[in-house]
């Protein structure tokens, strides 16, 4: 079953008399439980595509079906609720609250959820421990390494048990060892828990943790291929 289907998706930005096409007729689907990587150079449209798929931005035209329903039929409030309930995000810049503990950062999406407040701590502790940060529960982001910050961002993305996780250049600010550990966590979530993951990256070595790679160029899909030699889960993954 497909969780995402897009058909002839277009996105243009207008600046005075200039019309820039970021996406120019993109069509593909994402199976539930799939790990898809979207690659492309700067300006290829991959970040724009992520923002549209993550319901952070609207397409100019085309059809976007999420979990069997046309996104165009939702109101703004309904989209916000859907995004909070069914979508998790991991960003290159981490987007953590600086003077707030690891536990409180992980709990943040619950503020906008229907989860009873008396369950928040238990949920947050579970996802923080799942990414190997149980010993850092009361630390602040400034006391974490780059890899630990990204693991916390992954924990936060899992707090509402989303149907899909969007990871935007999750290894971009990390050294190679930390990057491999972060990708191992994402791959483990996909292979062992069946999480649907859409990864945005410009690095081939990172993309090869996925099972399928879509390459964009100038807002058009250049290729859509299965990964023949998928990277194995890193043995250094923190349990």
Please give the average per-residue pLDDT across 195-211, as a whole number: 93
pLDDT for 41 beyond 50: yes
| Residue 61 CB coordination number (10 Å) | 12
Q: How far apart are CA 197 and CA 70, in angstroms?
A: 20
Dist. CA 135–CA 133, nearest whole Å: 5
Pairing of strands 196-201, 164-168: parallel
Prediction pTM value:
0.92
Look at residue 18 and give its three-state secondary structure.
strand
Residue 234 pLDDT level (bands cut at 50, 70, 90) = low
The residue-averaged pLDDT of 170-183 equals 91
Residue 19 has pLDDT above 90, yes or no: no
Tokens 């859409």 sit on residue: 198
Q: What is the pLDDT of residue 230?
A: 86
Query: Locate tokens 């996802």: which residue?
Result: 127
Average per-residue pLDDT for the chain = 92
């Amino acid at each position: 079953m497909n969780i995402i289907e897009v058909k002839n998706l277009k996105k243009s930005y207008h600046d005075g008399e200039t019309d820039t096409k970021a996406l120019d007729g993109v069509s593909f689907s994402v199976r539930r439980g799939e790990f898809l990587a979207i690659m492309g150079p700067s300006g290829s449209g991959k970040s724009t595509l992520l923002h549209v798929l993550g319901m952070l931005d609207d397409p100019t035209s085309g059809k976007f079906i999420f979990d069997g329903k046309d996104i165009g039929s939702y109101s703004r409030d309904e989209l916000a609720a859907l995004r909070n309930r069914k979508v998790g995000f991991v960003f290159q810049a981490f987007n953590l609250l600086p003077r707030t503990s690891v536990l409180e950062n992980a709990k943040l999406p619950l503020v906008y959820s229907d989860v009873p407040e008396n369950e928040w701590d238990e949920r947050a502790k579970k996802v923080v421990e799942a990414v190997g940060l149980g010993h850092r529960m009361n630390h602040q982001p400034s006391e974490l390494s780059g890899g630990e910050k990204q693991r916390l961002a992954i924990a936060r993305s899992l707090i509402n048990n989303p149907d899909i996780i969007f990871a935007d250049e999750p290894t971009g600010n990390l050294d190679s060892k930390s990057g491999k550990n972060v990708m191992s966590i994402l791959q483990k979530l996909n292979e062992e828990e069946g999480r649907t993951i859409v990864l945005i990256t410009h690095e081939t070595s990172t993309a090869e943790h996925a099972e399928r790679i879509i390459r964009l160029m100038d807002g058009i899909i250049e290729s859509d291929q299965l990964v023949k030699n998928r990277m194995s889960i890193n043995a250094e993954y923190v349990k």
